[in-house]
Chain A
């Protein structure tokens, strides 16, 4: 079912199979690299239809977003030899198990600035606590230095970065380093699917950031989201088409009746009187998630966050859409997006609270600082349960070829690789 934004009319599409490819849920956090529509609508739809959302607590913080806007400064900068410096001009990553310092312009995989995103974001967090970050008018940051590349190479390899840095922080990367800081970027979790992109609901498929095929685990590698789209986009397409070709059509009367219920729901939401303002609830949700489900998490804070989200969900029942027009009613659309976002915020919060260990992008600084494979080498599954708190279960991880190892980078990582070979 879709709203024709141009007219406000609701249209029903009858399909024998459906592929959800609606992207992630990064906008539930205040400071993020995502565009306006990354609100998890598709995830919420699948969730409310009974499909589990898996591993939602794993949210990737990309280490280099511009302060203020959160605009993404691509990892390609570091690939081209860009270095990260704290306020003393020191390449601080070597203090966090990512050393030794590689020569400028000669980056090495798994070392220093080419370390994994979660570790780089965590390093920023620690530097900030130590007071080593640079104070900019838009908040604390570290400096991404690309000056060694020179004007020609920069314009040839990273033209967009030059333009973004100039517009949003007034920096010319040829002459000065760019201030950057971690921003919420990607949701590793999503709609639970199998390797054929199929969900537990026959005929429903999901691909891309909205899905959890199990590819990314607790931390996604750079560029894998693009590769995932290409591979599993095709897989989903092929299987969805196959499924549709084997199905007799469902009686359109049944579907029309189901659709009518949803239509009535929508009309109620749009026209109900209430006291809560959708923009205010959205801001409170985003601030809460940023504060309590950040790079490092604590039990009491997370519980506080979950309680706040639960109360926001209650308050949402009382929301009033001020704009009652039909043509391009963007306030109503944003309210619908908020409904989805609150679902997801609750799932993320609950999943994070219950995972009593630290793994990948879910890092805790309370009593659960380390990885606990014995109890938590599991996927988190969350099921919609109407008015009640969602139901949470665990599912074993399917281990076939590689067994889980300790994550080591820098020198330790190189040594380990040597061991492996011999």
Chain B
């Protein structure tokens, strides 16, 4: 018993149209990527994801792209629109109308197929920064996997030190924005370093030393030249640029102190 007659995701009767130029690449069919043009109805409330969905359902079922939540929390649908890295679910067709839109997979990554990139380089970097709480002290005192061990306590200030860096959804827009990553694929990159900082800055964590070989190295924070574009494109206001600069400050401080303090002292 559904009194609704309006189906909002169907095209309006109006004859407004918009053109998308999408970079296609199907291994086995294409030697190299080529643009394919699609003309679709223009619906004011459509996101780019809705537009791609329309193309896949009605025009070309072979168009492949990653997506899931369609509300900017899962980080799956990162791609380039007119050369800018954005989330397809949070970018709207009306932002471009009546001009045509160039759709490409995220820059600085190899293309697996159509708008899908090879994420493996990022996943390796993510693992390398050990993105989990390293509680070095606990084994010496008491194990923390029982209720008796007691809970971690944190003040709002302690939480504020790392909270924004924990908002990363691994969408990889920052890697597409970062020209240093474009020039040097070995660079750990904004998201991985933000996450390293998230743990280093967490009062529960004692793992800064363990992460230092990745973070406080040439391919770690020191490849960053503070372009700052990563923070501009981040959909979750993580501000990776600030995470990296703060790690540079920490790195320099540790290095300077290492001459004064005996080894192992803090």
Contacts and interface: CB of A to CB of B under 8 A. Distances in A.
Direct contact of A and B (CB under 8 A): yes
B29 A283 contact: no
Contacts of B114: 328
A35 interface: yes
Interface string B196-216: 000000000000000000000
Interface in A119-140: 125, 128-129, 137-140
Given A37-B68, A139-B4, A327 B27 contact: yes
Contacts of B68: 35-37
Contacts of B28: 325-327
Interface residues of A, number: 48
Interface string B106-141: 000000111010000000000000000000000000
Contact of A35 (B47, B70, B90, B92): B70
Contacts of B90: 167
Residue among B1, B4, B67 with most chain A CB within 10 A:
B1
A292 B69 CA distance: 26
A323 B62 contact: yes
Residue among A279, A295, A321 with most chain B CB within 10 A:
A279
A160 B74 CA distance: 13
Given A68-B45, A325-B26, A328-B112, A296 B70 contact: no
A287 B61 CA distance: 20
A365 interface: yes
B72 interface: yes
Size range of the interface on B?
A: 35 or more
Given A138-B8, A327-B27, A129 B69 contact: no
A279 B64 contact: no
Interface in A55-78: 67-69, 71-72
A420 interface: no
Contact of A279 (B2, B29, B61): B61
Given A327-B26, A327-B28, A128 B3 contact: yes
A385 interface: no
A142 B70 CA distance: 23
Contacts of B44: 137
Given A35-B70, A67-B8, A331 B1 contact: no
A294 B2 CA distance: 7
Contacts of B69: 35-36
B32 interface: no
A319 to B, nearest CB: 11
A139 B26 contact: no
Given A69-B71, A160-B73, A295-B1, 5 more contacts: A36-B67, A68-B8, A137-B44, A322-B61, A325-B29
Interface of B: 1-4, 6-9, 26-29, 44-45, 47, 56-58, 61-62, 64-65, 67-74, 90, 92, 112-114, 116
Give 10 closest A-B pairs by Cβ, nearest first.
Answer: A279-B57, A323-B62, A328-B113, A322-B61, A35-B69, A331-B61, A35-B68, A138-B8, A68-B8, A296-B1
